[in-house]
Structure 1
Amino acid sequence: MQPLENICVLDLSRVYAAPAGSMMLADLGAEVIRIEHPNGSDSMRDWGPFVNGQSTYYLCANRNKKSITLDLKSSEGQQRFKELVKDADIVIENFKTGDMMKMGLGYDTLKKINPRLIHCAVTGFGQTGPLAYEPGFDPVIQAMSGLMDVTGHPDGEPTKVGVPIADILTSHHVVISILAALRMRDQTNEGQYIDLSLLDVLMSSLANISSAYLNSGFKSERLGNRHNNVAPYQVFECSDGPLMICAGTDAQFRKLCTLLGHEEWITDERFLTNSLRKEHEAILGQMISEITRMKTRDDWIAQLQAYKIPSGRVNTIAEAFEQPQFIARNMLGEIEHTHYGKIKFVKSPLQFSGLNIQYKSAPPLLGEHNEQFQKSSLS
């Protein structure tokens, strides 16, 4: 049994944030039906690199789904969609604000067809506010949220995160909000309209950065690989490459001093507390670096683990997938598709004692399941 068995999702979304969210629902057992224009409407299909003609970007957000094509701007397509809505539980879309209403498919219309329907709308800026009708892609959201201002090296330019973090975090909120709405529906027998904004999500994720500013006026700066509030908590060079060491507590710092052979640092007035260590972070980092450069990363990791001090190699992507911990967790999956062969992917991180997530199908071809849904009924 799967948690979302018998839950049907009509997925009108494109690119990453909403499709990744619907993929998580599919992993949990929901029937997710991608609905695209007959000519294709997801630009992610055009982003390389490609495997057997299929975008690897598209592949990362669309497993366990079905695909049909409808022209929602035509009266026939709108009518077929409304027929599907009758038996659906969830609609997910990331059209620009107002586009669903222009097509006669807004929530007020759909809930008359199916009062139990949960409609999740994902946009860059939400359904209200002066930017409601503006497009918002991930890098734009990273820039506007302030995240880029605190990411990068002090002497470098503001830097975006190396993955589409606004999209990724929003995909999680897609799932959280839908699961909450399903729970509410269990109690009220009524659906919900969910208004998710990428900017809202990313600004709510600023965590300690936003709390520091809002409550004390403290403006965090770009610190490279250092921490805004804790020291030593950064990357140190070893004889064979970079190593992240995080001595986040006074106890861990004392252990680190002992490990490095400098117990006198424990009573050094510059390093007695985290606040003092942060104040003298530059000199402390330099002192530690002079020692870490003397050994390899693996040598240091073995000792740091013995002292229970958090640490880890700064891996390349290739090294990350080769590390024993990833392999031991059995996180690498593979699905066979008749058109583009074997597709490898990172499995869902959800590991329950009573749940075995099934990876039943590779990301579908455009309109692959048209024949299955020709009659417009989900039954």
Structure 2
Amino acid sequence: MTPRRMTTALSGIRVLDLSDRSAALAGRVLADLGAEVIMVEPPGGNSIRHLQPRLEGVVEVEASFAHQYFSANKRSVVVDLATQQELFLSLVASADVVIDTERPGHLDNLGLSHEVLRSANPLLIQCSVTPFGMFGEWRDRKASDLVAGAAGGLIWLSGEPRGKPVQGGADVTYAMAGLIAASAISIALHQRKSGSEGSGSEGSGAHIDISLQEAAATAAMQTATPSNWTWFNQIPRRPGLSAALRCADGGYVGHMIRPDRFEKFLAWADREEIDHGMSADDWELSRLDAPRKGNPVAATTLALAAKLTRDEFFAGALEADLICLPVLSFDDHEQTEQYVINEQFLAVEHPGIERDLGFVRSPVDGMAEPVVLNAAPLLGADQTLVDLVPEPPVMRKMASATSPDPARALAGIRVVDFGWVLAAPIGTRLLASFGAEVIRVESTKRPDSMRSQIGPDGLPDPDMGGLFNVVNTGKKSLAVDLSTEQGMKLVKELIATADVVVNNFRPGAMERMGFGHDVLTALKPDIVSLNLPGAHRHGPWAVRPSMGNILMAASGFNMLTGFDGERPRGIGIAYPDFTGPHLLVSTILAALRQRDPSGGGQEIHLTQLTGMVSLLGAEWMQYKATGVQPPRRANRDPNLCPHGVFAAAGSEYSDDEWVALAVQGDDEWARFCEAIGDAGLANDARFVTHDRRKQNEDALDEIIEAWTGNKDKWDIADQLQAAGIASAPVEHLAETYERDPQLRHHYQLLQQPVRPDVAIPINRETAQWVGHELRLTRAPAVGEHNQHIVCDILGHTEDEYVQLIIADVLT
């Protein structure tokens, strides 16, 4: 079929996509940004094509909803890597990027090691996404989305307080890995183009190493901030940050009461005649870290919910200016005004199967050029591409295939960062980690709430808060009063020197502050400005405050997660706050690439909500094809059985101990039965095939839990992995930090000058360049770089700087 017009930001970039489901999103994001992404598939098609659930009445290799969604905008060629290595190397010679998800060593055994690929193409960027990374004790272990999430500490945070840990719907760990891979590839492409090590020539290729386990650990870094353990010996518990409040009509809302709106909350309770016994002086009871047990705020909220329907509660919360959105199912979406106004959902014709398929908007559909969606290719639809490559390739001898230093990948980019809390700051942390100069614009008069977090002494500390330090590493700080004319002038001078301006305020906030895009372009015509609000620019939710976990509830995600009969909590993290940052990086670098030849900047409008909904694209397509809401998955998977979380023996920490495992296919099932000492179980008529196991999954789970229940979870995982079965302990923060051998290098220790005696543990970047250790640098103190920015960057004199301090312009 003839593809429709595409976004051109990554025009000219060719990506060879060898990935399975675990990194399929990476290629999809790059394709949506305009790259030519070619799936290189074995005869019979890649594994994504064969995943369930599937379209009815369509040949199997084209029927998978996962394939139809994650392969959109891609192309397809068939090459057998086991026998056609020379042909594949010819493709490599024509490419810019290879994405693979093979187990470490597999491509080497085929004669397709990174060194061989780089011999065919010295500028090649290879991104390898594996269960536990390419190095370390666990490098050869297996993992599914569930198992990697368990090993990374993510599953532990999700579910009911006294129930089983729960896997997120729509494969959260895979989504994180795919987005991380896309942003890392974008960084490497920029480094290669700019020659950012100072050689003045085109840069080198690179080999990027991404671990599914670390992707899960990164997503958990707010709820499981590592300093909670090292400073306070605290292990976060389920349900983490997840929330679902049941209302009088059986509907649910996600909500949060902010301390600065506490009086409005009390006034609302008074109007509804709820007896609460609180006054405005009790505002600290509404803090996120306030104790839950016996808290009258919680009791008052429950009383309101017991009286009001979902929609009534939502309306009352909005009137009180609280953070609140309804927990929605797919059945609600097409009647939800916010989605309708913003055309969140669309149909895409697939001529090859003669169907219109239901799609959600692309997660990167916020750039100047809209993303046009083309249906997934039929197997081998683009085989003529193979005929166009030279064969055989010219192989070059290389002294080494090392990667350039990633710490300078984005050197020369200056970012003015208005972001606060998490979503934008994590994205700008990524830019800073890889060499961009990121300058936080902040003020002591209206500080980022992250500046009020507690430090190691248990008291609020603007410079020592654990999570603030995690999400703001490598940045500079300009503390300035923007209510003053001189303060505004300073920041405008800074913007005139910048490449990028970032914010995650509500739509319209930058305009009200005097920094609308028209102002920015007047200051710097080629500026790239990125907005990352919670909801879309238009619609009734546009001006509402939001948080990641509340957006998660409204996206439909919660209704895909958890056990039937339990509250639709979602998972225990503010999920969009960890997906949005990687979309931020990918789109900014695409815009800068587009700017370079044209000299023009652009305004990017991403939203955390659109990004969140886009991660449910395969499930939405299934819903549109069947008219039935996909089931809540609990810990089960249609393609793997057995698959779940099972109770294990208690430990020194608690009796709340669990192990995750996943079995794929009949051969693994037989090995699993042998590993648990019951080889005959493999021939039990109830379990002899995958379909039979799925039909009798409850009985099978009981058998497995009888075996796991009195055993140590670490011993179980070791035993099963030795048999080639994906398994991992469901780890909590103390274990990811202290016991897990594979995460030994995941945390780096930094110090602040105000407390050099205190080590601050920081999650490293998940994407690592092979051959380099990417060392982070500490977060800035408030206003730490005022003098450097005012005098060295903006060129003001020391006397002018002093006068700005005296006038309280610099705070």
> One fold, TM greater than 0.5?
yes
| Change over 3 Å in CA distance of 1:201–1:340 after alignment to 2 | farther
Q: How far has the Cα of 1:230 moved from its partner?
A: 3.4
Q: What residue in structure 2 maps to residue 282 of structure 1?
A: 698
The answer to whether the 8 A contact 1:230-1:248 is kept is yes
Check the 8 A contact 1:84/1:376 in 2, yes or no: no
Between 1:297-306 and 1:218-227, the stretch displaced more is 218-227
Distance 1:187 1:267 in 2: 65
Question: Residue 50 of structure 1: CA displacement?
Answer: 4.8
Q: What is the RMSD of the two structures over their aligned residues, measured on CA atoms?
A: 2.4
2:493 is the counterpart of 1:80: no
Whether the 8 Å contact between 1:46 and 1:55 is mirrored in structure 2 is yes
**Which 4+ stretches in 1 moved above 4 angstroms?**
49-52
Q: Structure 2: how far apart are the matches of 1:292 and 1:78?
A: 63
Identity %: 31
Q: Number of residues paired by the alignment?
A: 377
CA shift for structure 1 position 169: 1.0
Amino acid at match of 1:252: E
Give the corresponding residue for 2:715: 299
Structure 1 contact 40–366 (Cα < 8 Å) conserved: no
1:205 and 2:615 aligned: yes
Match of 1:226, SS state, is coil
The amino acid of 1:349's aligned partner reads T
Deviation string 1:172-215 (CA, Å, 9 cap, x unpaired) is 21112112222222333222211111111111122553343233
| Structure 1 residues not aligned, in runs of 5+ | none
Deviations 1:274-301 (A, max 9, x none): 3442232111111222223354334322
> Is 1:231 equivalent to 2:641 in the alignment?
yes
Name the residue aligned to 1:259.
675
Aligned-partner SS, 2:659: strand
- CA, structure 1 residues 112+322, in 2 after alignment: closer, same or farther (shift >3 Å)? same
Cα gap change, 1:299/1:83 in structure 2, threshold over 3 Å: closer, same or farther?
closer
| Equivalent residue for 1:153, pick from 559, 563, 576 | 563
Q: Which aligned pairs between 1:180-195 and structure 2 lie closer than 5 A?
A: 180-195=590-605
Q: 1:36 aligns with which of 442, 445, 450?
A: 442
Against the structure 1 CA distance between its residues 246 and 370, is the aligned structure 2 distance closer, same or farther, given a 3 Å change threshold? same
User: Separation in 2 of the partners of 1:275 and 1:128?
Assistant: 46
**Is contact 1:229–1:278 with CA below 8 Å preserved after alignment?**
no
1:164 shift after superposition: 1.7
TM-score by length of 1: 0.90
Q: Residue 346 of structure 1 corresponds to which residue in structure 2? A: 763
How far did 1:237 drift?
2.2
Map of 1:334 onto structure 2: 749
Residues 50 and 354 (structure 1 numbering): CA distance in 2 closer, same or farther, change over 3 Å?
Answer: same
Paired residue for 1:21? 427
SS of residue paired to 2:544: coil
| Kept after mapping to 1: 8 A contact 2:687/2:693 | yes
Structure 2 unpaired stretches of 5+: 1-196, 198-407, 651-656, 796-811
- Is 1:88–1:378's contact at 8 Å kept on the other side of the alignment? no
SS of 2:416's partner is strand
Alpha-carbon shift at residue 327 of structure 1 (Å): 4.6
CA distance in 1, matches of 2:685, 2:525: 66
Structure-2 residue corresponding to 1:311: 727
Structure-2 residue corresponding to 1:63:
473
Once the two structures are superposed, what CA deviation does each residue of 1:88-128 show, in whole Å capped at 9, x if it has no partner?
A: 01101112211212233111221232122111111011223
Q: What SS does structure 2 have at the residue aligned with 1:157?
A: coil
Aligned residue in 1 for 2:517: 107
Partner of 1:271: 687
Q: Tell me the distance in 1 between the aligned counterparts of 2:634 and 2:602.
A: 42
C-alpha distance 209-250 of structure 1, shift in aligned 2 (>3 A) = farther
Structure number with greater Rg is 2
Identify the residue that residue 124 of structure 1 maps to in structure 2: 534
Aligned counterpart in structure 1 of residue 453 of structure 2, from 19, 44, 47: 47
- Kept in 1, the 8 Å contact 2:455–2:465? The answer is yes
Deviation (angstroms), 1:265: 4.0
Q: Is the 8 A contact 2:673 2:679 kept in 1?
A: yes
1:33 maps to a residue whose letter is I
Would the aligned equivalents of 2:466 and 2:760 in 1 still touch at CA under 8 Å?
A: no
Residue pair 1:69, 1:366 contacting (<8 A) in 2 also:
yes
| Counterpart residue type for residue 335 of structure 1 | L
Report the Cα offset of residue 260 of structure 1: 2.8
- Residues 297-340 of structure 1 deviation map (CA, whole Å, 9 limit, x = unaligned): 34322321121100011122101112343354x22212222113
Mapped to 1, the partners of 2:639 and 2:674 lie a distance apart of 23
In structure 1, give the amino acid aligned to 2:521.
Answer: K
Change (3 A) 1:248 1:189: farther
| Equivalent residue number for residue 242 of structure 1 | 658
- Letter of the 1:71 counterpart: D
SS at the partner of 2:540? coil
- Going from structure 1 to structure 2, the CA distance change for 1:144 and 1:50 (only over 3 Å counts) comes to farther
* Cα separation, 2, equivalents of 1:297 and 1:287: 16
User: Deviation at 1:377?
Assistant: 3.8
Q: Does 1:370 align with 2:780?
A: no
